[in-house]
Structure 1
Amino acid sequence: MTRTAEALEANPYIPVAPTIKQLLFLSLPHFEAFYGGAGGGGKSEALLMAALMYVEEPGYAAILFRRTFTDLALENSLMDRAASWLTRTDAQWSERDKRWTFPKGATLTFGYLDSPRDWRRYDSAEFQFVGFDEASQFRPRDMNALIQRVRRPKDARVPLRVRYASNPGGEAHDFLLKRFVEPKEPHPQRAFVPALLEDNPYLDRESYEATLERIRELDEVLYQQRRYGVWITDDGDSIFRREWFAGRYDASNRGVHNAVVARYIFWDTAFKEGEERDYSACVVAELSSDYTLYVREVGAWRLEFPDLVGYMEDIAARHNQDRKLRGIVVEDVGAGTSAIQTLREASRWVAPYIQAFRVRGKKTERAREASVWARRGMVKLPAPSPEVSWLHDFEEQLFAFPITEHDDMTDAFVMSILYLRHYLAEGWRARAGTQVA
């Protein structure tokens, strides 16, 4: 028997014996570990065991998350299962705090991350264990924010651990795939333990397989994900298709540049203070006389606010050497609002170009609306070349959206289409149906 198995057997708060796969997961020394794959592999139970492993250590603090409070409160969910394990022990439950407290002061808390700001509730918290059940349902940026809360006092004996459990699919599918399942390079502090239905001897396999067969009648991809833990996605989920951009332009062809009627720079300034700030993304788009939109440059950077304003000025100057710049369009929210005010007040030559733009509706709805232009061949990307080193990263994000870890460049791209569509509609009416001169 391994040391981990002995510790689990002696733990009065874990009343079940782990399966072989669960024991492997529980024995991992890595800072981050992912137990994932097919449905029925005992993922949630493994996560609860992992959280309870050190509750006899004074001061130990663990927290388990589900995406919504409803998910937490469901019958046989994490919180319900913990109650069945702990109610007859000496651990004390607080309904208000959703927390079990153990005799030596250790705690196990349950949380949720429903809205984009929910992670802020834990800004001043400190945990030695953070677990995400059904991790693919979370926003990756929320999970990254909570990882920053994993720390311990100098004299603490417990290890620091972040644990994930999930099926494939969902909002964080791409995040989990690249971080654990198919990383570009092995990471010494991350591990992946695949789990299958066959790895859980306690489950009624016959009835569970019957349920999965009903899923198969409706969705083959979902069936493959749940039955065999296959990390595939349905290409039909992608909003922007690669084949819509088959007609590429040559970035070195000056004739294409000379056909430009108007050039705009679009900024999605998704900015936060500190290490957890998001990317600010920029798209430079040009409109030709036949209403074709040419994407000239795309970029994304994590920037402090003064640097953000400086980047906006520098990119504007570089793309206005031929005096065809017509606008610097900034999303009028958060740091974008601050940038608009700063540039209008402090930059005399940039100020006349600044245009505030407020997007509406959900991201996916906006993207589907914008995709009509791309589907009709009205949006051109450059052919791959050393001159457009940004192209690979942009395409990787665009064609994976909405199942992608970051979407900042896609947001700016969508904003460019929606803005110019509005511009053309208004201009067409103003010009009484004539073309752009």
Structure 2
Amino acid sequence: MARTPARLKARLRKIEAKLEKISQSPKSTRLPTPQAKQARFLECEADIAVYGGAAGSGKSYAMLLDFAKPEFVSNPDYGGVIFRRTYPQIRNEGSLWDESNKLYRLIQGTPKESSLKWTFPKGSTIRFAHLQHSKNVYDYHSAQLVRIGFEELTQFDEKQFWYLMSRNRSTSGLLPQIRATCNPDADNWVAKLIDWWIDPEGFPIPERDGVIRWFVRVNAELQWADEPKELIERYPDIQPKSFTFIPAKITDNAKLLEVDPGYLANLQAQHPVDKARLLDGNWKVRYEAGKVFSRNWFEIVSEVPTGGVVVRFWDLAATTADIRASSYYTAGVLMTWYKGVFYVLDLVTAQLSPGETDQLLLSTAISDGKKVLVRWEKE
């Protein structure tokens, strides 16, 4: 019996529905290839690895790729947890949850938004969690966490990091490891943790990039060595752990520069301290009262060109040190401006009374000479 047009249309609709379903299914079961610096992070064998140290370096993307490596998601007993300090930081536009949706569907991950958890075909899981309060670490008191991630490690308490290290264990057959990303902060506990990898000016030492060292923690103090046997000899009852720091900057993220070249300009427009941290990856520069400059920003020259405008500019204070030792200084900077470049020639500072301050301005002006302009801020 011949098919009726109605039956034929119904069959076509079923075929179209199947084709639509196929078209919406993942076209790949592989994650994108990481960029060079990201690949070094993913390949690192250290027990603990910290990656980044500057903005725009692809830190979050590298963390997501690392947690979903094939040997992990193919293990049914694998469960990785990536922490952020607060819940909104996980769910903000373009943050971890959004980015994971772009990646983990490629490897047939199934999301459960209510618990911020991904489940993969073999039964392995990756989830995101927060540690807003220091006590939240005790929610994991009996947990076995084979892979722990700290996104922006400098935002976590040192106590949180070390406590969760005690939960870094597993019977899955996978090596328990900790991974972290961060931006520079000179006053943060992380700065001390990675200090061996940073030069006196605050920049990562190229020769130490990714070099693995070993440590034991004795009475809350870290004892370091280049080889584990050195520590085993000194502390035979403590098992050494391996650690490394892999620095990266926006220049290591060619894909971002290609897609959003304007982001580089955003970093260049920051305050000098923030620019040094976020763009240049400087771990020593800091905000301090009256100190927002780093010595390495200035070039030392043997002579100053003639013909420029010379000015002595004063920032005035009027409290002596015997009244308050922490009082502000009167400061007068002598500078030359020549062809768009400022040359610092001299600096006078003192903690003086109002009358003594006036006398200092007068005597300095006489010493500088009539060709030097004198200016000060009007409060």
CA distance in 2, matches of 1:113, 1:72: 11
Say which SS state the counterpart of residue 145 (structure 2) adopts. Answer: coil
| Residue from 60, 68, 86 that aligns with 1:68 | 86
C-alpha contact (below 8 Å) 2:273/2:287 kept by paired residues = no
Aligned match of 1:98: 116
Contact 1:138 1:171 survives alignment (8 Å):
no
Distance 1:55 1:157 in 2: 13
Given the superposition, is the C-alpha separation of residues 374 and 103 from structure 1 closer, same or farther in structure 2, using an over 3 Å criterion?
farther
Contact 2:137 2:160 in 1 (8 A): yes
Alignment correspondent of 1:380: none
Query: 1:31 matched to which residue of 2?
Result: 47
Where do 1:27-426 residues align within 5 Å?
Answer: 27-53=43-69, 54-87=72-105, 89-153=107-171, 156-169=172-185, 171-178=188-195, 181=198, 185-186=224-225, 189-204=242-257, 206-215=261-270, 219-234=271-286, 236=288, 375=326
Cα distance change of structure 1 residues 237 and 167 upon mapping to structure 2, 3 Å threshold: farther
1:299-328 Cα offsets, whole Å, 9 max, x none, are xxxxxxxxxxxxxxxxxxxxxxxxxxxxxx
* TM-score, length basis structure 2: 0.55
1:148-190 residue CA offsets vs partner (Å, 9 max, x unmatched) = 111011xx33221101111101744434434765798445511
1:29 partner letter: E
Cα offsets for 1:78-111 (capped at 9, x unmatched): 1211112224653222223221112222110101
* TM-score, structure 1 normalization: 0.48
Check the 8 A contact 2:60/2:151 in 1, yes or no: yes
- Which residue type is aligned with residue 200 of structure 1? N
Residue in structure 1 matched with residue 238 of structure 2 by the alignment: none
State, as a whole percentage, how many aligned pairs show the same letter: 29
What is the one-letter code of the residue matched to 1:210? A
Distance 2:123 2:289 in 1: 47
| Cα 1:211/1:13, change in 2 over 3 Å | farther
- CA change 1:159–1:373 in 2 (3 A) is farther
Q: Distance in 2 between matches of 1:199 and 1:124?
A: 39
Whose helix fraction is larger, Structure 1's or Structure 2's? 1
Cα gap change, 1:234 to 1:95, in 2 (>3 Å): same
**Contact kept in structure 2, 1:26 and 1:50, CA below 8 Å:** yes
- Alignment size in residue pairs: 228
Give SS of 2:244's match. strand
Q: CA deviation at 1:210?
A: 1.1
